[in-house]
Amino acid sequence: MMMLAVISMASCSGNAGGDEATKDLAAQLESGDVNKFQAALEAVKAKATELLAQNPEKAKELIASVQKFLNDNKEKVTALIGSNETVSNLVNTITSASADDVINTLSGALGGVQDKAEGLMDDAQQKAGELLEGVEDQAGEMLEDAQQKAGELIDGANDKLQDATQKADETIKGAIGL
């Protein structure tokens, strides 16, 4: 077990992200828990994707460092992952190509995610606009209905006022004898 720590430290490339990633991978490899090792690999992939957006060169250094660690510890990694196809595919994805190719793959995936997110935002804005138009149309119809009903009430009130005024006039004329 002590040999593993020495191997993992020797495999570090010297960058802080790579050191941290390989230390975590070494710890998970030493733990013998394939699920934790997979989580550490997924974290490396996520960190590389995050770095890719900010500093592609750092992302490439991280991937190169992890590739070196995985290649230096290939036998132990293979023994740990056994027949776990998911972890095996993840390791192969990271180690089977150059760091540049891995970064290009991640970049393509990131670009696809960004395009999809932009598409979803556009769709959401369009739907919000359509909903707003619908609400405005309904509000306009409700206002027209309210104005029409108010007009009908006013007309009815005016008719009753005229009737009351006419009856009052007739009553006054009758009272004074006209």
Residue 109: its H or E element: helix 99-176
Contact 89, 71 (CB under 8 A): no
Calculate the CA dihedral of residues 154, 159, 165, 170 and round it to 10 degrees.
Answer: -170
pLDDT digit of tens for each residue in the chain (178 aa)? Answer: 333 333 333 333 334 456 788 888 889 889 889 899 899 988 888 888 888 778 878 888 888 888 899 889 888 888 888 888 888 888 887 777 666 666 776 666 555 556 666 777 877 788 877 888 888 888 888 888 889 988 888 888 888 888 888 887 888 877 787 7
Tokens 């309904």 found at: 138
Contact 64, 22 (CB under 8 A): no
Q: What is the pLDDT of residue 113?
A: 58
Q: What is the pLDDT of residue 39?
A: 92
What is the C-alpha to C-alpha distance for residues 86 and 73, in angstroms, rounded to an integer? 18
Q: What is the pLDDT of residue 8?
A: 34
Token pair of 167, please?
């009856």
Q: What is the pLDDT of residue 3?
A: 32
CA atoms within 13 A on the CB side of 54: 8
CA angle, 123 then 129 then 135, to 5°: 135
Q: How far is CA 84 from the centre of its chain?
A: 29
What is the C-alpha to C-alpha distance for residues 63 and 137, in angstroms, rounded to an integer? 55
What is the C-alpha to C-alpha distance for residues 73 and 116, in angstroms, rounded to an integer? 37
The answer, as to whether pTM is greater than 0.85, is: no
Q: Where are the domains of the chain?
A: 2-96
